[in-house]
A and B are shown apart, each in its own frame.
Chain A
Amino acid sequence: MATQVFKIPDSFKKDAKYTFCPGCDHGVAVRLVGECLSELGLTENTIAACSIGCSVTIYDFLNVDSLEAPHGRALAEATGIKRACPDKFVFTYQGDGDFASIGLAESMHAALRGEKISAICINNTTYGMTGGQLGPTTLLGQVTTTSPTGRNLEYYGYPIKIAEHIALCDGTAFSARVSLDSVPNIRKAKQAIKKAFEVQMKGLGFGFVEILSSCPTNWRMTPEKAHERVRDEMMQIFKPGIYKDITKDFSNEN
């Protein structure tokens, strides 16, 4: 008798079909969020705050209540939702331009206030939906439509390392960076998302996961080459790991 080891999570709308480009890792990230919501039994009790960018389409696929926020203001809106309905589970799903450029103030202050919210940020080093412009996380030397000779240090400065910055905020309970370049890393990413959801359920503080993702269309690469770029270039600068976890017990370590 064969046992079912994989199925579409219950939290997905029936016959949901992704509208992302072929090979885009947003699809994997949305599925992981859906799996975590299903496994923690949160689907019926969740409100999502949606952002602007490719990430906005999450409300087309997940069977949860959602509100659309102006560009970058998803965490400000999520704060309002959580304060009005403290018994609801609230999460945001944002891109790096939304979270770390336009909405950096909202994001940092939500973490500093220790709002009981979970935030997922997809980092693909570019503005995907608008055609591949230079974003806050664009790597030095990376060619985009607004930096045709590559991001240069004198003119544009350094890319932001979001997970480390959020980890420095005192209100943060969990901050991690994960990658979707390979199957083992996808499984680690799911554990991190689940942890970020659990710290909210326990009321410990702000939970944050930065997910390194690929954008084959705007990087002008095949999906496979894009994953190699995530592995060889992005993961060297944006190192995956758990940067803050207040639930971790350090008493057995020296």
Chain B
Amino acid sequence: MSNIVIDKSKCKACYLCMKECPKNLIKISDDTNNLGNRVVEFQDPNGECLGCAMCATRCPDLAITEVYRG
């Protein structure tokens, strides 16, 4: 099953990844990190993630650190 790993301490809340995800699996979470940013979170209850890595390719802050496809 495909999934991504988000390092919330690096997220700067630009939300570019949300627009890239073809399945809209990345959402704004209620958490803030110690930079004070409303970070993103990955929600995939139905296993829809394709592992396309477009979110990680777009992320300008290396916050999406790992992508697995399978």
Contact = CB atoms under 8 A, between A and B. Distances in A.
Interface of A: 1-8, 12, 16-18, 20-28, 31, 183, 186-187, 216, 223-224, 227
B67 A223 contact: no
Contacts of B2: 2
Given A25-B60, A183-B54, A5 B69 contact: yes
9 contacts: A2-B2, A2-B68, A5-B67, A6-B66, A7-B66, A22-B37, A27-B62, A183-B20, A183-B57
Nearest to B20: A183
A8 B65 contact: yes
Contacts of B13: 22
Contact of A18 (B20, B61, B66): B61
Contacts of B19: 224
B51 A26 contact: no
B57 A20 contact: no
A223 B70 contact: no
Interface string B1-39: 111000001101111100110000000000000000100
B16 A224 contact: yes
Contact of B1 (A2, A5, A12, A28): A2
Interface residues on B, range: 20 to 34
Contact of A3 (B10, B60, B64, B69): B69
B53 A6 contact: yes
A223 B16 CA distance: 7
Which of A16, A27, A186, A227 is most buried by chain B, counting CB atoms within 10 A of its CB?
A: A27
Given A18-B10, A28-B60, A187-B57, A23 B16 contact: yes
Contacts of B3: 2
A interface majority secondary structure: mixed
A3 B70 contact: yes
A77 B64 CA distance: 35
Contacts of A5: 51, 53, 67-69
B58 to A, nearest CB: 6
B61 A6 contact: no
A22 B14 contact: yes
A216 B15 CA distance: 13
A22 to B, nearest CB: 4
Contact of B62 (A31, A183, A224): A31
Nearest to B68: A2
A206 to B, nearest CB: 28
Contacts of B61: 17-18, 20, 22, 27
Given A22-B14, A224-B19, A186 B57 contact: yes
A95 to B, nearest CB: 16
Contacts of B68: 2-5
Nearest to B58: A183
A18 B56 CA distance: 15
Contacts of A224: 15-16, 19
A1 B2 CA distance: 10
